[in-house]
Chains A and B, each alone.
Chain A
Amino acid sequence: MIEFRSVSKQFPGGTVAVNDFSLVIPSRKTTVLVGSSGSGKTTILRMINRMIDPTSGSIEIDGEDISTLQPVKLRRRIGYVMQNSGLLPHFSVIDNVATVPILSGMPKKKAREQSLALLDTVGLDRSLAHRYPSQLSGGQQQRVGVARGLAANPNILLMDEPFGAVDPIVRAELQAELIRLQRELDKTVVFVTHDIDEAFLLGDQVVILETGGHIVQVGSPTEILSDPANDFVASFIGADKGKRALTIRKTPRGEILVDSEGRAAGVLVPAQDGADR
């Protein structure tokens, strides 16, 4: 469990990126921070591994105040995946993945073997192990980034718009892969995005942020969709109009769902058990 208590961050120069932010991030769930640029979501994420230290307030991981921990040690036990992968260009794929275990003192051979297994986990062919990041596609690079994030077997995985720079088809693949991974690995994932569709797809808990890290609404996708806190949320998630504002239209062959533009969006089918979350 990660807990933010009245956390604020003012950058030198006066910009208040986050103001009095409190949130509980449950373990073994995916929490998605979603908001537009300037909402402070990346700043909040980067405070968890002390890439940024808060100006005031405290952050606890499983009851431990992280300001008392050494940043380097803390970072090594938290996976971090960033946009554009952030891979080291002069390290081969396998060495990129093995970076953290080797830094933590694992023998190179063992770290490499373990990293090969991780390539399987993230759906990369082992033949890519000795390529360099520049020789991979954007999607492959992101997979390597995820593998590196998982390499130290962390409980917490921070993901900063990891799929923001890949094309929509690859993004959909990577999202599906992350859902599969999360089902297998059961990590505490904190995911930052500006894409509400991605937030609803991946998040068990979705946190909608406004400027300055102000929380507009926290809840499961179901709760947010069924009861948007205000007009801002309704328009942000597109519940007032567009493809999420669906109405039932009767046709001679049965009922279909149409969006606010009148385009066919789907059909109603009987509910499956456990489909609700």
Chain B
Amino acid sequence: MNLLLDAIRWVFDPANYGGPNGIDTRSGEHLALSGLVLLIAVVIAVPFGYFIGHTGHGRGIIVPLSGGVRALPTLGLLILVALNVGIGVVAPVVALVVLAIPSILAGAYSGFEAIDRRVIDAARAVGMTEWQILIRVEIPLGLPLLIGGLRSASLQVIATATLADYVSGGGLGHFLFLGLQTNNYPEMLGGSIVVIVLALASEGLFGLLQRLVVPAGVAARQPKDVRLRPVRSQTALG
């Protein structure tokens, strides 16, 4: 209990703010690193996820692959990359992008797959092009699940980004590694508390966003009679 109090005291000690190793600076680095990682992961994973969700192709290859990637230990990957590119921020970015991609990918394609096939069939039948189906129907309706994927990716990345400082990549990991080396447990725990606060803030933010992006007509949906919902396959027989 004393340790926890000491840790909280450490977090609120003004002496620990300011300068290159201040909690504020390190938190900023941590968030910047996480944000960059999420951005890169989105740029890579969303197009793939949308492609799988829209066409139904590639599911058999990409989905197991991204599942397998989930099993990679991030620390191992981090060191492996760092051995090749040297210490600094590049190795953690690569390792964390690999960590973030599976959740975002899953969010992107499952968002599309969750849309009632009849809605897409009707959109096509009234004369929407494939792009129009993608942009006007699939992306807006799939957005809540994509944000859900981003939400869990963000949580994982913020928590795991503590490893970055292991290869001098900056961020809040500094306090953990330094505290461990100098037996300064209040600092170590205090650093963890800051990470937890950031992670919770990300959860709250994405949770809110996830609600905001639910399209109006879908949010207004009443629970429907489930008997009326047999999904007709795309090439329905007479």
Q: A38–B127 contact, CB under 8 A? A: no
Instruction: Mark interface residues in B134-174 (1 if CB within 8 Å of A CB, else 0).
Output: 00110011000000000000000000000000000000000
Interface residues on B, range: 20 to 34
Chain A CB within 8 A of B226 CB: no
The chain A residue with its CB closest to the CB of B137 is A88
Q: A86–B122 contact, CB under 8 A? A: yes
Total A-B residue contacts, Cβ distance less than 8 Å: 112
Chain A CB within 8 A of B16 CB: no
Also in contact, A89 and B217, with CB within 8 A (given A52-B235, A103-B127):
yes
A41 to B224 Cα, complex, angstroms: 28
Chain B CB within 8 A of A239 CB: no
Q: A82–B125 contact, CB under 8 A? A: yes
Q: A88–B127 contact, CB under 8 A? A: no
Chain B CB within 8 A of A72 CB: yes
Chain A CB within 8 A of B228 CB: yes
Chain B CB within 8 A of A91 CB: yes
Q: Which residues of A contact B (CB under 8 A)?
A: 11, 15, 17-18, 33, 35, 37-44, 46, 49, 51-52, 72-76, 80, 82-92, 99-100, 103-104, 132-135, 138, 148, 165, 192, 209, 213
Q: Which residues of B contact A (CB under 8 A)?
A: 116, 118-119, 121-129, 132, 136-137, 140-141, 215-218, 220-222, 224, 228, 232, 235-238
Nearest first, the 5 A-B pairs at minimum CB distance are: A86-B122, A132-B217, A90-B215, A76-B127, A75-B127
Show 20 residue pairs from A and B whose CB-CB distance is below 8 angstroms, ordered by the A residue.
A17-B238, A37-B237, A37-B238, A43-B235, A46-B125, A52-B235, A75-B126, A80-B125, A82-B121, A84-B228, A87-B119, A88-B217, A90-B215, A90-B216, A90-B218, A103-B128, A132-B216, A133-B217, A134-B218, A135-B220
